[in-house]
Structures are given as C-alpha cells and as structure tokens.
C-alpha cells in the first residue's frame, strides 16, 4: 500500500444466544423434543492481503533489446490505493432434536466486498503497461442461505447410518464499479446490477435451412444471417433467404439494400457464471469393523461458455470433433440445425472465435459422486499378538462419476473464474488403497 494508506482498521463482533439454556425453555414440556436451540449472529470486517506485491508503486523492470540490456516502465503506480474492505454478516440458528440425534442449521450470510483491489482495464491506446491500473474498483455483494441437516438416521445393533445434507444458495451482484462503467472482456462483462463476470455475447438463432448460413438476433430484434461465401451480414427474410444486396445493380424491389452488421452493441448479458445453488449429501455407514462413506456433491444455476467446443468445429479441417458431422450440407440434408455450413479458413466468421454467443453457452448443473470409501478395521483381539495398536485397511475412489448435461469434459473444469472452458482439464478420478497403522 502507498505510505499514506498503510494502516487499516478491521473490527469484528459476534453474539450467540442459546435459548435452550433459558429456564423457560428447559421447563417447558412442549418444547422438550428440541434438545438444543441457538441463535447466533456475527459481523466482521476484514482486509485482503492476496493482492500481489507492490502494485501501488510505479516500477521499472528489465527490458532487453537484442543483446543490449535496458530497463522499461512496467507497472503504473497508484498512490491512492487503499485496503479492500470485506464486511461479513451472518445470522443463523441451530436446532437440535432428540438429544442431538438430529441437528438442523440455517444461516443467512451476506458478504459485501468494497473497494476491491483489482486491475481496472485501460484503453490499450493509452499504452499503460499491462493495459490496466490497480484500483479500488467497486463493490460486490454475495449473499445467500445455507441450510444443513445432519442426523444419526439409524442405530440398530452393530449397524449405524449417519447422514448429513446441506444446501446453499448464492446470489452475487455487483453494486458499484469505478465510475460505474462496464468492464467488458472478450466473453464476460462486469456490470453494476449483474453478477460478476456474467457471460456477455450475441443471440444465436441456428442455421438458415435454405443456405446453411448462421442466424443471429440483433439487439433491436432484427434477424440477420452471416453469408459465409463473402463473409458479410444481411437481413434475413425467411421467404427470400438467398436475397443479398448486389452493389453493382441499382437498389430496387428485387435488389433491396439488406446489408447488415453484427455490431458490438448487439451483445447482451447471457447469464451468470457463478452457481446459484450447491451442496452435498454425505452418508456414513458402519457395521462392526466395516465403514462405508458416500459423498455426493451437486451444483447448478450457472452457465459455462464451452470455448473448447468452438475449436472442435474449427474450419481448418484439423482437429474436428464429431459435432462437425451435424453441419448443414444441403437443403435436403440440413444437419442438426446448429452447425452451419463449412468453409475452409473461415472459423472467425462462422464460429465467432473470440466472442461469446448462445450457440456455445451451456448449463453447468451437475451431480457428482465425490467420494466413495470402504474401510475395515481389524478387531483389536487379532492385533494383541503383534504389538500394533490399530489397523485399518481401506479403498476409496474420488470423483467416481458425474451426471451432467454439459457437453464438455467436466462442468467443474478450471475456467479462470470467468466461466469460460477453454481447453480446461477435467477433475481427476482417483483410486486409493491403503492401510492406516496405529502403533
């Protein structure tokens, strides 16, 4: 931080009230089935130190020219940089039933991130190193409900089954930005009132059945087609799909000027890349020395931009996926209605390589079997002869399967926080076998 702003003040307070300890509660028979009841709330303000080193300082670093050593301006200084402030609010209650056999937790949380230290982009024509300045850029709110229930479901003889289930909702909203200006990236936008890094792109309407051209909807509702043969856009008239303005002839009823453009202003917010709901379902079964743990995890409400799929239908006739088989071939064979006609070398025009549009936007909902493990604890009677305290052998599998409608490798692939899956790696499936030895 610049010298003037190095000191920060971060208070926190929390309060809890165990109602169940109150005498009126303990003496009440009607509320006897509730073994524990606590209400709690907390407020904390924290700073954030994970913001990089010396970002407030104007710096020169090494800049070599051929064989000549030099230094060059490499970071623009911001003497007004301040601490980030995160204000966390939490309000919750915990209920216990049947002597703690069933527990229920409900929370409402809200986190306001204010004065976030982020690289605010600058116009490249200003030539700022990295085209960004570290600024306190804005205010983002993350809020939601968290519900959880865990219980010892069954205890009969040597068999027990305990289970816990939780469900969280998340709502993310940008409340304020530097000058309240949109920050627009290639596929995302940070805009006040939307969730952060929402997908931002064009509306795709499929393939024109008469000629295989891709169809888009402009911001004003007009439908246009991208004519692949000359890489220009024209207004689409379904009754006259192959009518294109001919500049060599005069404008007439049979030669209207139906030229169009697909402009940056035709983009709109396509949806949030942050999940709106998620949670898990954990079950543990034990029978004598055997224990079995099953953990399911689910998440959804977010969109993913499947950029990998864009490259798999590239027009360089290399590295195509099977989706290309569904392309438009002729009026008699219109294909899957989503993949336009092919033309060598024209990926930028046909697939809008460096922009987002609804053709490659997919839902990211999934249900995953995160952990399945089976273990056996050898009875201590058998171990008395060797002076070993305890032995447990186990086998476990992580990420055994995932159920999802997402066409990419994994709906939880690394996306650089922007919801764009560009050649991301899937989660690994791991099998582990082992022995726990206690001596």
Q: What does the DSSP assignment read for 281-311?
A: EEEEEEETTEEEEEEEEEEES-EEEEHHHHH
With respect to other proteins, which residue has the nearer C-beta, 127 or 250?
127
Give, in degrees to the nearest 5, the angle at Cα 284 between 279 and 285: 150
Strands 188-190 and 171-177, by their bridges, are unpaired
Could you tell me the smallest distance in angstroms from the CB atom of residue 76 to other proteins? 6
Could you tell me the smallest distance in angstroms from the CB atom of residue 53 to other proteins? 7
With respect to other proteins, which residue has the nearer C-beta, 315 or 371?
315
With respect to other proteins, which residue has the nearer C-beta, 83 or 278?
83
With respect to other proteins, which residue has the nearer C-beta, 229 or 330?
229
With respect to other proteins, which residue has the nearer C-beta, 55 or 297?
55
Strand order in the sheet with 203-207: 203-207, 214-217, 223-227, 232-235, 259-260
Among the listed residues 308, 304, 321, the one whose alpha carbon sits nearest the alpha carbon of residue 406: 304
Give the tokens for residue 402: 């995932």
Could you tell me the smallest distance in angstroms from the CB atom of residue 135 to other proteins? 7
Could you tell me the smallest distance in angstroms from the CB atom of residue 251 to other proteins? 12
List CB contacts of 390: < 8 A, sequence separation 6 or more.
377, 378, 380, 383, 436, 437, 438
Phi-psi bin for 194: left (phi > 0), alpha (psi -120 to 50), beta? beta
Whether residue 313 contacts residue 343, with contact meaning beta carbons closer than 8 Å, is answered with no
With respect to other proteins, which residue has the nearer C-beta, 239 or 249?
249
Give, in degrees to the nearest 5, the angle at Cα 24 between 22 and 29: 120
392 — phi, psi (to 5°)?
Answer: -130, 125
Could you tell me the smallest distance in angstroms from the CB atom of residue 239 to other proteins? 24
Give me the sign of the Cα torsion angle 232, 236, 238, 242. Answer: negative
Name the DSSP class of 222: -
Could you tell me the smallest distance in angstroms from the CB atom of residue 350 to other proteins? 10
What does the binding site for other proteins look like in residue numbers (CB under 8 A)?
A: 1, 3, 6, 53-54, 57-61, 63-80, 121-131, 133, 135, 183-186, 230-232, 247, 261, 264, 316, 345-346, 348-349, 353-355
Query: What span, in angstroms and rounded, lies between the C-alpha atoms of 132 and 118?
Result: 9
With respect to other proteins, which residue has the nearer C-beta, 68 or 254?
68
Could you tell me the smallest distance in angstroms from the CB atom of residue 198 to other proteins? 15
With respect to other proteins, which residue has the nearer C-beta, 261 or 390?
261
* CA dist 208 → 204, 228, 341, 357 (Å): 11, 12, 10, 17
Could you tell me the smallest distance in angstroms from the CB atom of residue 303 to other proteins? 21
With respect to other proteins, which residue has the nearer C-beta, 351 or 371?
351
DSSP H or E segment with residue 207: strand 203-207
Could you tell me the smallest distance in angstroms from the CB atom of residue 116 to other proteins? 16
With respect to other proteins, which residue has the nearer C-beta, 242 or 354?
354
Could you tell me the smallest distance in angstroms from the CB atom of residue 81 to other proteins? 9
Whether residue 395 contacts residue 323, with contact meaning beta carbons closer than 8 Å, is answered with no
């Amino acid at each position: 931080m610049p010298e003037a702003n190095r000191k920060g003040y971060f208070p926190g307070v929390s309060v809890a009230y165990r109602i169940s300890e109150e005498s009126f509660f303990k003496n009440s028979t009607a509320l006897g089935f509730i073994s524990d009841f606590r209400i709690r709330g907390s407020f904390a303000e924290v700073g954030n130190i994970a913001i990089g080193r010396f970002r407030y300082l104007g710096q020169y670093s090494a800049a070599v020219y051929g064989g000549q050593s030099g230094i060059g301006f490499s970071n623009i200084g911001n003497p007004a940089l301040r601490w980030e402030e995160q204000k966390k609010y939490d309000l919750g209650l915990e209920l216990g039933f049947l002597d703690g056999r069933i527990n229920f937790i409900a929370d409402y949380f809200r986190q306001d991130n204010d004065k976030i230290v982020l690289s605010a982009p600058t116009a490249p024509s200003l030539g700022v190193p990295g085209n960004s300045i570290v600024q306190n850029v804005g205010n983002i709110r993350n809020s939601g409900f968290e519900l959880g229930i865990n219980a010892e479901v069954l205890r009969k003889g040597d068999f027990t089954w305990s289970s816990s289930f939780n469900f969280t909702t998340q709502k993310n909203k940008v409340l304020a930005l530097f000058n309240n200006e949109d920050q627009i990236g290639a596929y995302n936008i940070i805009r006040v009132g939307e969730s952060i890094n929402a997908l931002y792109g064009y509306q795709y309407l499929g393939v024109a059945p008469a000629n295989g051209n891709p169809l888009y909807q402009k911001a004003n509702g007009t439908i246009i087609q991208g004519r692949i043969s000359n890489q220009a856009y024209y207004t689409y008239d379904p009754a006259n799909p192959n009518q294109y303005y001919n500049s060599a002839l005069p404008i007439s009823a049979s030669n209207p000027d139906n030229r169009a453009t697909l402009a940056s202003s035709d983009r709109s917010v396509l949806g949030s890349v942050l999940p709106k709901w998620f949670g898990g379902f954990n079950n543990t079964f034990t029978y004598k020395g055997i224990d079995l743990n099953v953990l399911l995890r689910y998440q959804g409400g977010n969109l993913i931009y499947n950029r990998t799929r864009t490259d798999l239908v590239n027009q360089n006739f290399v590295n195509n996926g099977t989706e290309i088989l569904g392309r438009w071939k002729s009026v008699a064979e219109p294909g899957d209605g989503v993949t336009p006609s092919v033309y060598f070398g024209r990926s930028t025009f046909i697939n809008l390589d460096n922009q987002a549009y609804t053709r490659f936007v997919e839902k990211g909902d999934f249900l995953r079997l995160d952990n399945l493990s089976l273990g056996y604890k050898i009875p201590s009677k058998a171990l008395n002869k060797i002076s070993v305290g305890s032995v447990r052998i186990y086998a476990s599998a992580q990420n055994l399967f995932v159920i999802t409608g997402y066409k990419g490798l994994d709906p939880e692939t690394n996306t650089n926080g922007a919801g764009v899956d560009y050649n991301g790696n899937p989660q690994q499936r791991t099998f582990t076998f082992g022995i726990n030895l206690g001596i």
